[in-house]
């Protein structure tokens, strides 16, 4: 029997309260989607606000802060590399 989505939202809200204020209570099932969001943000294909909103939704959180997003973005290594662009302005 699967859990009701409302339960997941409630559990995530409770988990997030236990985390440091600059960290996100990620859920394992969202990892690949979160990585895609961080990459799209890095490649300038998504604004910061769009990326923050998507990471929050992926992890069943009402919202995340800019501080949380940027801390996790840095910890996950996205600031350590540059985006690659082809001759047509596409990122790969």
Read off the pLDDT of each residue in 18-28 and give the average, rounded to a whole number: 98
Measure the CA–CA gap between 81 and 43, rounded to whole angstroms.
Answer: 11
How big is the CA angle at 14 (ends 31 and 5), to the nearest 5 degrees? Answer: 60
| pTM of the model as a whole | 0.84
Measured over the CA atoms of residue 10, residue 15, residue 17 and residue 22, the dihedral's sign is: negative
Q: How many helices (H) and strands (E) does the chain have?
A: 4, 0
Q: How confident is the model at residue 80 (pLDDT cuts 50, 70, 90)?
A: confident
Read off the pLDDT of each residue in 24-35 and give the average, rounded to a whole number: 97
Q: What integer best gives the mean pLDDT of the chain? A: 91
Residue 18 has pLDDT above 80, yes or no: yes
Measure the CA–CA gap between 2 and 55, rounded to whole angstroms.
Answer: 23
Q: Name the residue among 17, 25, 21 with its Cα closest to residue 60.
A: 25
């Amino acid at each position: 029997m699967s859990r009701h989505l409302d339960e997941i939202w409630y559990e995530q809200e409770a988990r997030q309260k236990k985390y440091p204020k600059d960290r996100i209570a990620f859920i394992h099932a969202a990892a690949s989607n979160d990585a895609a969001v961080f990459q799209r943000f890095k490649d300038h294909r998504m604004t910061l606000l769009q990326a923050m909103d998507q990471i929050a939704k992926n992890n069943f959180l009402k919202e995340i802060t800019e501080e949380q997003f940027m801390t996790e973005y840095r910890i996950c290594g996205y600031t350590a590399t540059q985006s690659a662009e082809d001759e047509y302005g596409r990122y790969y």
